[in-house]
Structure 1
Amino acid sequence: MAQVAAISLAAVAVTVAPAAAAELNIYNWGEYINPAVLKKFEEETQIKVNLSTYSSNEEMLAKIQGGATGYDIVFPSVHMQDIMAKLDLLEKTDINTYEGFKNIDPGFMRAKSDPKGEYCLPYAFGSVGIFYNRKILGKDITGWKDLIATVEAKGLKFTLLDDMREVLAVGLILNGHKVNSTDPTELQQAADTIIAMKPDVAAFTYETRAMVQSGDVAAGHFFVGAMVDVLANTADLGYVIPEEGATMYQEDICVLKTAPNKDSALKFLQFYTRPEIAALNVSQQTNGTANVPARQLTPDNIKNSKEINPSPETMQRLQIFEDLGPGLRQLDRVWTKVKTAQ
């Protein structure tokens, strides 16, 4: 009888145990979301947010494909979203049926796998240009050719991103080709152009901001998010979308099929459709936003920045990456040549 009583008490104990607190596990680009946004979400929903970061689309995909199952939300670039859709890694959220989705510019439905926004929510966009130290260079620069001529004349160095597609895109653009080219001849021209730059390149790195600000290098290939540093020190720092052309990125918020907290993830997507939330993120991140009403809520120095919010004419000079499928192997080959060339 005592044994039966013990079992009964154990059952009671289980039924009255408090439910585990709701959580949301976000996997995002490093320093790519305003902590104030996450704090506000936690305060409003009582959902605990855990943030992990990555430095490239490829790193993120490798982690997910490698069996990482704890993440709920990821922020792939458009071409990576298409790749992840092909691999059946993304959950259909129907975020496009939510009332806040009306705030999203239809021009940002760029994912070929998700033209209506049934899966992911457009998050941020921007250019990939040149972040530079005006004090070191002694001038403002207009683009890649100007930068190379200036650093060679003064014996200075610059950095390139440690990113195959972004770096080869610079070479392709400088040779008048499209950034999604898989033509072996065009890619070899691009590789040769980058290899010719290497004596002036201090490193292939993402640590650009600190190196440029300190004056360790004169300039660096980097994202428009570096405008956060420019706006804090306009006397010494600058960012330019190269006159020759550049790439642009767009990251979207996607829920993983393996997400353990799908309800929390959907609540975050809905939360992020609010203009004041998107504007809060932009105010610290200095990226563009697909949320149209949010643009008017950002600080004037961001709202009026031609770097953060390029003119229609400048937007015409920006190209966005696409999923190259098997053609990516052509890029892998020439990238190896670029990285190993002495």
Structure 2
Amino acid sequence: MTWMKTAAAFGIALVAATNTASAAGQLNIYNWGNYTSPDVIKKFEEKYDVKVTITDYDSNDTALAKVRQGGTGFDIAVPSQNYLPIWIKEGLLLETDPNGMENFKNVAPDWANPEFDPGRKYSVPWALGTVGVAVNTEVYKGDINTWGIIFETPEELKGKVNVVPEMNDVMFGAIKYVGGDQCTADKTVLKKVRDLLVAAKPNWIAMEYNTIEKMGAGDFKATSDWNGSALRQRLAHPSIHYGYPKEGFVYWSDNVVVLKDAKNVENAKLFQNFIMDPEIAAGLSAFHRYANGISGSDKFMPKDMEAAPEVNVPEEFKSKGELQFMCPPEAQALYTRIWTELQK
């Protein structure tokens, strides 16, 4: 997609080819809710005679906590790139070497050798996106390209705004809104962030993940959100539009990994290879409505995504995007303290 080269300076990994064989059995996937194409799963099941079971989670923290417990029965998970180094460091993943799989040749150069998984020893791309705001423009006619929608809510939207409770996304937005830098541990800046969030919360109606349904139903009139979610909202309700906060926004990616204690390892590897096929990657995007990191998938993508502003960052906002990464422990501890207070 058009913003991929602006997200980060990724290197190019060497590609080696291997053959994959079909294997009957099961595959247990642990993934974000409303994120997995039933059609793609059906194709995988039919091709390899594998029964797929999908269990949903709602946040990176939920997924990480669950997998840390062990004995989940899951084979595959789909963490975001800022969390993936934690999974690797803690030994939660199996080194499946996707860089040697047959379809790895299709991974776009920008995503073949990322900092969060050098050489792609553990993960393959699932989806790429941004974090911004979705707004019902029938209710609010002002500028939607600002975190002010969330943190200094306009009068028309007070009591009608939702915040997706992904801590690092919210903290990033708040830090940028007060003029700080991603991952700052400056306590002067974070005091401003804390005060901003505490003052903003009374203007919110909820802190929920279920934005597609509730924006569509009119329960929410604005929400912090991911771009693919906002695209799905607009396609169903043309008055809903996605804003790129001029104060700064993040680029992110989600990636498919195999758990260290997976019971169906060969089927999990087959799935990693399967979704690096351009047509299959496009099928996933057609459902979740995010870009992907697979070259050649554009030939199979839905026509309504080709020029969608939610997927293709407008030129005027490209310089405002930053690749999201996990902040150092000192900063994360401070963010958690603020976040815990906000939950009270």
Pairwise TM-score range, normalised by the shorter structure: 0.7 to 0.9
Displacement of 1:146? 5.7
Q: Is 1:122 paired with 2:125? A: yes
Return 5+ residue gaps in structure 2 as ranges: 1-22
Displacement of 1:334? 1.4
CA distance in structure 2 between the partners assigned to 1:262 and 1:330 by the alignment: 38
Alpha-carbon distance change, 71 to 111 in structure 1, aligned in 2, over 3 angstroms: farther
**Secondary structure in 2 matching 1:26:** strand
Displacement of 1:281? 0.9
Q: Is 1:193 paired with 2:196? A: yes
Q: Deviations over 1:32-89 (max 9, x none)?
A: 1111110010011101101001001111111111123311110011121100111011
CA distance in structure 2 between the partners assigned to 1:257 and 1:146 by the alignment: 42
CA distance in structure 2 between the partners assigned to 1:198 and 1:242 by the alignment: 19
Q: In the alignment, is the contact (CA less than 8 A) between 1:152 and 1:200 conserved in 2?
A: no
Return 5+ residue gaps in structure 1 as ranges: 1-19
CA distance in structure 2 between the partners assigned to 1:40 and 1:179 by the alignment: 41
Match of 2:304 in 1: 301
> Which residue identity lines up with residue 339 of structure 2 in the other structure?
W
CA distance in structure 2 between the partners assigned to 1:89 and 1:179 by the alignment: 27
Normalising by structure 1, we get a TM-score of 0.87
Which structure has more helix as a fraction of its residues? Answer: 1
**Secondary structure in 2 matching 1:92:** coil
Displacement of 1:190? 1.7
Q: Which residue of the other structure, out of 315, 318, 333, is the alignment partner of 1:329?
A: 333
Q: Which residue of the other structure, out of 113, 125, 133, is the alignment partner of 2:136?
A: 133
Match of 1:263 in 2: 266
Alpha-carbon distance change, 68 to 182 in structure 1, aligned in 2, over 3 angstroms: farther
Displacement of 1:156? 4.9
Match of 1:214 in 2: 217
Q: Is 1:176 paired with 2:198? A: no
Match of 1:239 in 2: 242
CA distance in structure 2 between the partners assigned to 1:221 and 1:97 by the alignment: 38
CA distance in structure 2 between the partners assigned to 1:154 and 1:59 by the alignment: 30
Alpha-carbon distance change, 325 to 103 in structure 1, aligned in 2, over 3 angstroms: same
**Secondary structure in 1 matching 2:310:** coil
Alpha-carbon distance change, 264 to 64 in structure 1, aligned in 2, over 3 angstroms: same
**Secondary structure in 2 matching 1:79:** coil
Alpha-carbon distance change, 149 to 28 in structure 1, aligned in 2, over 3 angstroms: closer
CA distance in structure 2 between the partners assigned to 1:311 and 1:297 by the alignment: 22
Match of 1:283 in 2: 286
Q: Is 1:338 paired with 2:330? A: no
Alpha-carbon distance change, 88 to 196 in structure 1, aligned in 2, over 3 angstroms: same
Q: In the alignment, is the contact (CA less than 8 A) between 1:82 and 1:111 conserved in 2?
A: no
**Secondary structure in 2 matching 1:260:** coil
Q: Comparing 248-257 with 237-246, which one deviates more in the overlay?
A: 237-246
CA distance in structure 1 between the partners assigned to 2:157 and 2:75 by the alignment: 49
Match of 2:67 in 1: 64
Q: Is 1:32 paired with 2:24? A: no
Q: Deviations over 1:152-177 (max 9, x none)?
A: 25655211111221111111010222
Q: Deviations over 1:88-121 (max 9, x none)?
A: 1111111112232122123225753521111111
Q: Deviations over 1:246-278 (max 9, x none)?
A: 122210110111110010000001111100000
**Secondary structure in 2 matching 1:291:** coil
Q: CA RMSD in A?
A: 2.2
Normalising by structure 2, we get a TM-score of 0.86
Q: In the alignment, is the contact (CA less than 8 A) between 1:170 and 1:246 conserved in 2?
A: yes
> Which residue identity lines up with residue 247 of structure 1 in the other structure?
V
Q: Deviations over 1:165-213 (max 9, x none)?
A: 1111111010222232233332222222222212311111112223322
**Secondary structure in 2 matching 1:295:** helix
**Secondary structure in 2 matching 1:273:** coil
CA distance in structure 2 between the partners assigned to 1:74 and 1:216 by the alignment: 31
Alpha-carbon distance change, 78 to 148 in structure 1, aligned in 2, over 3 angstroms: closer
Displacement of 1:243? 2.2
Q: Deviations over 1:256-310 (max 9, x none)?
A: 1111001000000111110000001111211011112112321221021121122
CA distance in structure 2 between the partners assigned to 1:148 and 1:186 by the alignment: 15
Q: Which runs of 4+ in 1 moved over 4 A?
A: 146-150, 153-156
**Secondary structure in 1 matching 2:256:** strand
> Which residue identity lines up with residue 271 of structure 1 in the other structure?
F
CA distance in structure 2 between the partners assigned to 1:276 and 1:312 by the alignment: 28
Q: Is 1:94 paired with 2:97? A: yes
CA distance in structure 2 between the partners assigned to 1:213 and 1:151 by the alignment: 20
> Which residue identity lines up with residue 312 of structure 2 in the other structure?
N
CA distance in structure 1 between the partners assigned to 2:96 and 2:158 by the alignment: 53
CA distance in structure 2 between the partners assigned to 1:284 and 1:27 by the alignment: 17
> Which residue identity lines up with residue 309 of structure 1 in the other structure?
N
Give the length in aligned residue pairs.
320
Q: Comparing 125-134 with 322-331, which one deviates more in the overlay?
A: 322-331
